[in-house]
Amino acid sequence: MKKKILVTGGAGFIGSHLCTRLLNEGNEVICLDNYFTGNKKNIVGLIDNPYFELVRHDVIEPFYAEVDQIYNLACPASPVHYQYNPIKTIKTSVMGAINMLGLAKRVKATILQASTSEVYGDPVEHPQRESYWGNVNPIGLRSCYDEGKRCAETLFMDYHHQNKVDVKIIRIFNTYGPNMNPDDGRVVSNFIVQALRGEDITIFGDGMQTRSFQYVDDLVEGMVRLMNSEKGFTGPVNVGNPNEFTMLELAQNIIELTGSSSKLTFKTLPQDDPKQRQPDISLAKEKLGWQPNIQLREGLAKTIQYFEEALKNNN
């Protein structure tokens, strides 16, 4: 049955893939974006679809529409962007959640919050389960994002308990793929762009800190499954790829796949940079029947192809 679905942050990296998927499934999609980090280029191929509506709007302001489902993705998600204007970042997370929850309450829509593995901070539990409360610095450089997302989760559960809003919370681990911004400062895009340009690849710390990388198509599958999961199941649910890689391994994979002559350079690790990130995805397997299908080298090859085109077009 055709649903009317609102996607905030719909012109962003993940939002654009989600909008495409929802339209392909025969839904009507309203894409909301203020283009702080989103880009019209990401959704230009959808604009002619009669069931796609693009609205320039900032979720800090209320929005009104009759919809069945809301995916709340609006928020800068890379350190470069969220630290550029930290007050704006936390306002987007907190006031954006309040406005979208108010809309969901009014029109009785199911609403999904795109939360993050950053709610776990620099974890002392490894791998991280949803029951882990995290180890977060509330006054650090990353706090505007980490604490903004933690507060949004609180708001979602409060609206669920107090107002019976049907909420879903997904905790997204490192995700990569086409439509990433070449200048977003995330490790995968940084390494690929540096390798393609033949520049030195910049590694912070000794390169032994680990991350788990999931390809964007796997994430979108997890989001759609959670949104349509049984009523009353709120999550939070970890969605990520549990295969763990060091920064050195990631850099070496990218150098091999691009055939680059790039060398590695090492810089000081930024404040509060987590040393380990690995999701426990038992709950996603049990409740959603979800696990990632695309492994790192396959996903990196597709992402490199996208960046080769993007860099060619920018020159």
Percent of the chain with pLDDT over 70: 97
pLDDT at res. 258: 95
Which tens digits make up the pLDDT trace of 79-110? Answer: 776 787 899 999 999 999 999 999 999 999 99
Query: Is residue 37 a part of any domain in this protein?
Result: yes
pLDDT at res. 77: 77
Query: Is residue 260 a part of any domain in this protein?
Result: no
Query: What counts of helices (H) and strands (E) characterise the chain?
Result: 9, 13
Neighbours of 81 (CB within 10 A): 20
Query: Is residue 194 a part of any domain in this protein?
Result: no
pLDDT tops 90 at residue 182: no
State how far the Cα of 213 lies from the Cα of 211, in Å rounded to an integer. Answer: 6
State how far the Cα of 203 lies from the Cα of 185, in Å rounded to an integer. Answer: 12
Please list the alpha-helical segments (H only) found in 213-295: 216-227, 247-258, 282-288
Paired with 6 in beta bridges are 30, 70
pLDDT tops 80 at residue 314: no
**Tokens 């204007």 found at:** 85
Catalytic residue among 82, 145, 176, 215: 145
Neighbours of 45 (CB within 10 A): 11
Q: Is 159 a catalytic residue?
A: no
pLDDT at res. 271: 66
Output the DSSP codes for 133-188: --B--TTSTTHHHHHHHHHHHHHHHHHHHHH---EEEEEE--EE-TT--TTS--HH
State how far the Cα of 78 lies from the Cα of 85, in Å rounded to an integer. Answer: 12
CB contact at 8 A, 267 and 209: no
CB contact at 8 A, 78 and 135: no
Question: Residue 143 belongs to what domain range?
Answer: 4-177+215-242+275-294
State how far the Cα of 292 lies from the Cα of 149, in Å rounded to an integer. Answer: 24
**What pLDDT band is residue 15 in, cutting at 50, 70 and 90?**
very high
State how far the Cα of 111 lies from the Cα of 88, in Å rounded to an integer. Answer: 22
Pairing of strands 4-8, 237-239: unpaired
For residue 3 the two structure tokens come to 């649903």
Listed ranges 120-134, 216-230, 267-281; the one with the highest mean pLDDT:
216-230
pLDDT at res. 273: 66
Provide the residue type at 124 as one letter: V
Query: Is residue 104 a part of any domain in this protein?
Result: yes
Which tens digits make up the pLDDT trace of 28-57? Answer: 999 999 998 889 999 999 999 999 999 999
Query: Is residue 251 a part of any domain in this protein?
Result: no
CB contact at 8 A, 273 and 205: yes
State how far the Cα of 128 lies from the Cα of 131, in Å rounded to an integer. Answer: 8
* Mean pLDDT of the region 278-302: 96
Residue 75 sits in a domain whose CATH number is 3.40.50.720
- Using a cut of 0.85, tell me whether the model's pTM lies above it: yes
pLDDT tops 60 at residue 272: no
**What pLDDT band is residue 5 in, cutting at 50, 70 and 90?**
very high
pLDDT at res. 75: 92
Query: Is residue 202 a part of any domain in this protein?
Result: no
Report how many domains make up the chain. 1
Provide the residue type at 264 as one letter: L
Query: Is residue 11 a part of any domain in this protein?
Result: yes
Q: Give Dmax (Cα) for the chain.
A: 58
For residue 67 the two structure tokens come to 């919809």
φ/ψ of residue 117, rounded to 5? -65, -15
Query: Is residue 106 a part of any domain in this protein?
Result: yes
Q: What's the Cα-to-Cα distance from 194 to each of 33, 39, 258, 273, rounded to whole Å?
A: 29, 22, 10, 21
